[in-house]
Chains A and B, each alone.
Chain A
Amino acid sequence: MTLLLSATGISKRFGGLLAIDNVNLAVPKAAIHAIIGPNGAGKTTLFNCLTSFVKPSAGEIYLNGARIDGLRPDLVASHGIARTYQNIRLFPDLTAIENIMVGLDAKSPESLLGALFATPAHHRKVRDTIARATALLAAVGLVGRGDRLARHLPYGDQRRLEIARAMSIDPVLLLLDEPAAGMNPVESHAMLELIRRLRDEFGLTIILIEHQMRVVMGISERITVLDHGACIAEGTPAEIRENSAVIAAYLGARAAKHGMDALERQG
C-alpha cells in the first residue's frame, strides 16, 4: 500500500496559540480518511497547512514523494490537491458552469491569441471545456443547473458545486471540509454516496473533516482524532469508537461510560 500523502510533525503556532501540535498524517492511495475532533481542535488549520493557505511552523508534507509544504497555494494545487471549504466559498457572481470552467482553464490554459482571434482550435478547446464541465456537473448531480448563478443555488447544490469545482483541476487528493454540514439525514446520506462514488469512479484519495458521526463512521477507512491541536487517536472506525480518550474528548470524562454509541445515535 503506497502512501499518497505523508505529513510528519506538523505544527502551527498563531502567536501564543498552538493550533496544531506535532500532528502526523499518512494517507494511502484511494483511501477515505476522516479527521474529527471537537470545535477548535485544529482540523481546518490542518487543511490550511496541507494546501499552503498558512505555512506550517514545523513539519514536512510529502505528496507522492514530492515535498509540498511552503509552496505557493497555486503550486500545491498543481501538484494535485483540491479542497472545499467549511463556509462555502464559490465564486458567487459566476454561473455554476463558469465556476467549474475556472478550474478547468487553470489546469490547461487556452492560448490567448487563439481566444482573441477566435481560431477553430480555440472553438474546439472551448467546446471541450464546456463538455468536461457539463460532465462534472452531472457527476455531482447538478444536471441542467449550469446556467444559474452560484449564489442563487440552494445550499445543498452549492456544496455539490464546490466539490465539482474542486474536481475540475483533476486532483489526486480531495480535501472536503464538512461536506455534510447543515444537511438533513437524507441529504447527508446522498452526500456520503457521492463521496464514495468519487473515490471509486475517479480513483481519488479523500480526506474529510466531518462532525456527523453517522457519516464519518459509515464512510471512512481510517480516522484521525484531533483535540486541542494534538492527535489523540488514530485508527479504524471500530477502534475509534472504543477509544476512551476520544469519548472523553467529545463527551467529557464522566459521560465516557455511555460510550460513542449515544453520540452516533444523535447524528
Chain B
Amino acid sequence: MLAFILTRLGQSVLVMLAVSLISFIMFRYVGDPVASLVSQEASIADQEQLRERLGLNDPFYEQFFRFVWNAIQGNFGISYRLQTPVAELIMSRLPATIELAMTSALIALVFGIVLGVFTALNRKNPFAAGIMAFSLIGVSLPTFLIGIGLIYVFAVELQWLPSFGRGAVVDLGWWRTGFLTETGLRSIILPAITLSLFQLTLIMRLVRAEMLEVLRQDYIKFARARGLSKRAINFSHALKNTLVPVITIAGLQLGSIITGALITETVFQWPGIGSLFLSSVAVVDVPVMAAYLIFVGFVFVIINLIVDILYYVVDPRLRIGGTAKGH
C-alpha cells in the first residue's frame, strides 16, 4: 500500500513539475514582464536595470527553479491588471469557487449514480427512456445556455431566486462562506444546478453503460443460476463492479467541475477564481493565468491521487497480489 502511494505521489510530483514548466514558460515569455511593471517613459537603461534586478537575465533553469520555489511558498507574482499579489487574489476568491464546485459535485454524483442505475435496470420502462432522451439534451445544451435559461425562468419571470452574485457571506476569518445565510443559500441554487447538469448527465450515462456491461458478464449469469435474489444480483454484485471503472472517470469529471466553473461563474457573476481567470485572459494578465494553471494542475493531481487510492481500496485485484497457487 505504502509503495503504491509513494509511486503515485512520485508521478504526481512529475505532473506538477510539467504543469509548472508550461506555466513558467507562459509567465516568462508571453508578453514582457518588464514592460508591464515600468511606465512608458522609462529609459532602456532603467528597464535593463530592472531586468537584472528581477533576475530575468539569469539562466533558464535558475529562473524556473526560482519560479517553482516561489510557487511552493505561495508567491505567484503581482497581477498586471489589478496590481495586487496573485496569491491574495486567488485566496480571496477560492472559497466561492470551492463551495459552488462541491455543491455541484454532490448533486452530479448522487443524481448521476441513482439515475444511471435506474435507467440500466429498467431499460424498457418509458420513464427511464424519457430520462435517457433528456440526458442527451443535457449533453447538447451548452452550459451558458442552461444558465441563461434558468435565470430567465426562475429569476426574471418567476422571481424566485437571485440571478447573480453570492448573496450575503459570513466571514470565518480565513474563509468566507455563503452557506450560513439565507441569501447565500438561495444564490447558490441556480449556479450549482447549471454547473452540475452536464456532469450529471455524463455520470448517469456512464453508470448506465457500465452497469449494462457488467450485467452481461458471466458472473452475473452464474449469480442468477445460483438463484440469488434480484436485489442481491443488482445491488451487491452488479453495482459494486460497476463502480470500479466509474470511480476513475467520475473522479476526473469532478475535477473538471472546478475548472468548468468558469463559464457558470461568468453567467451568474459569481465571484470565484473562474471569472477572475476569464477577465485575466481577456487582458493577457499572465501572472494570474499562470497561477490559475498551477492551481488547476494541483486540483487534478489531488483528485487523481484520491481516485487511485479509492480504486485500490475497492478492487482486491490491485490490493492483493494475484498469486495463483496450486492446480
Genuine A/B complex? no
